Amino acid sequence: MKLVILAVTILLAACANVHAQDVSFDNYIDGFKQKARSKGISDSTINTSFDDVYLLGQIIELDKKQPERKLTKEEYLAKVINQARINQARKLFADNKELLTELGEKYGVDPQFIVALWGLETGFGKNQGNYDVVEVLATLAYEGRRRDFFESELLSALLILDEGHISHSKFKGSWAGAMGQCQFMPSSYLAYGADGDGDGKIDIWKNKKDVFASIANYLSTVGWGSDEATKTKALMHWNRSTYFVASVFMLAGEIEHEM
């Protein structure tokens, strides 16, 4: 009997997968619009957000692409931490020291780590990505590999637009849906985004004060502390790659040498 139940379960799952593949992207979007309405997203936002949204084949390819060879930790660090990045990090820290010190004290976060994350995520704001966030997330949700995750992020993206934080035309991000100079996913923006200059908006795309405050607020909220173990834990919440965490510590350490 157990074998029969197992066989039926596998068959139903296979059928569901085939059905999902048979649904066109347009039909999938139509269904998602109904879900968004049920979550309270306005028709105006839904209509504007999904106007001219297409399935992005290159996004699916990027999501499926795997590196041919995994870098060693030493190779990874050598690739992401070079002298030019260190020099720029030190200069930008010095240029923004007053603001960074103020935010560090407010949120209880070592300010050099704010700059380190800023630098490693987007090259200090230069490499944010120029993809339409809604289009990217809709594509990845339709693809289905991590449908629940990307549908949730897509709903968060629509909420950001619905609340008027940014216009759809400026709502840009990476091929994976991460946004702004600190590369927050939409759900992280809603949970950790902070208004650094008190203007009532949270602009992680162009407003450096909001970027710094959002990074600091994120780290503080997830448990940043004074000891290295607590810092490592908070950074692992940001990015689960031990290589990435090591690179943050390394760049922060290089900044600290010049403080």
Q: Is residue 102 annotated as a catalytic residue, yes or no?
A: no
Q: Are 118 and 85 in contact (CB under 8 A)?
A: no
Cα–Cα distances in Å, from 235 out to 19, 49, 241, 249, 250? 40, 32, 9, 9, 13
Residue type, 80: V
Look up tokens 């306005």; give the residue.
Answer: 42
202-219: burial string, b at 16+ Cβ within 10 Å, e else: bbbbebbbbbbbbbbbbb
Instruction: Give the distance, in angstroms, between the CA of residue 144 and the centroid of all CA atoms in the same chain.
Output: 19
- Among the listed residues 75, 102, 121, 258, the single catalytic one is 121
Cα–Cα distances in Å, from 23 out to 14, 18, 30, 47? 15, 9, 11, 21
Based on C-alpha coordinates, what's the Rg of the chain? 21
Annotated catalytic residues are 121
